[in-house]
Amino acid sequence: MYVLGISGSPRIGGNTGLLLDEALLGASVQGAEVEKIILNKLKMRPCQECETVKDDGTCKIEDDFQALFGKIKKADALILASPIFFGSLSAQTKIMIDRFQCYWRYKYVLKKPVPENMKRGGLILIEASKRDEFLDNAKAIVKNFFATANTEYKNELFIKGIENKGDIAKHPDALSKAYELGKSL
């Protein structure tokens, strides 16, 4: 089993990354091959809403998205982790999701056949505030993304009230929940 972890945090080694690392560790102890992608390290342009698009579901913008798209399609399970910024997902995460527009069109507008294999999906969100509506907003976007990417929304972990880099280490219960999330996928 191949489990792909995607971090949407711009902060390397921060709370989002630490939670994702624990989730991937949980998956690896179950025998999964794991890989972690840090979106902030990729060169990805935002969706340009091109007037002419390919009819094969791929985006015509040539950048690091193509390799990421291939890994997401190959994965048996996907764990997406993002901090909450201004009431939603980070810009890095949203750029990746928006770039799935061509695949969404392929699947839902052109009604082309897509692989039947559903992957399992987990979502990790962390926010400094304690506002459920921010988490609900981000969750709604990710559920749409997962549906487009043939990913069943299976598990979630939402952590509130954590702001400073590394503070999640003071919450071993949150880290163990992330570990269990990965293990369950």
**CATH number for the domain including 176?**
3.40.50.360
pLDDT at 179 over 80: yes
Identify the pLDDT of residue 142.
98
The domain of 74 spans 2-184
Q: Across residues 11-17, what is the average pLDDT? A: 95
- Give me the pLDDT at residue 113, please: 86
| Residue closest to 81 by CA, chosen among 184, 183, 155 | 155
User: How many structural domains is the chain composed of?
Assistant: 1
161 confidence band (pLDDT: 50, 70, 90): very high
pTM > 0.85: yes or no: yes
The answer to whether 27 touches 185, Cβ cutoff 8 Å, is yes
End-to-end CA distance of the chain: 10
Output the six-digit token pair for 20: 């994702």
Q: How far is CA 184 from CA 26, 76, 167, in A?
A: 8, 13, 25
β-bridge mates for residue 78, sequence order: 4, 121
> What is the spatial distance between Cα 60 and Cα 58, in angstroms, rounded to a whole number?
6
For the record, the structure tokens of 172 come out as 């071993």
pLDDT at position 54 is: 87
Q: What is the pLDDT of residue 7?
A: 98
Q: Over the stretch 25-79, which tens digit does the pLDDT of each residue have?
A: 999 999 999 999 999 999 999 999 988 888 888 999 999 999 999 999 999 999 9
pLDDT tens sequence across 107-155: 999 999 887 789 999 999 999 999 999 999 999 999 999 999 999 999 9
Q: pLDDT value at position 52?
A: 86
Percent of the chain clearing pLDDT 70 (strictly above): 100
User: pLDDT-based confidence at 185, cuts 50/70/90?
Assistant: very high
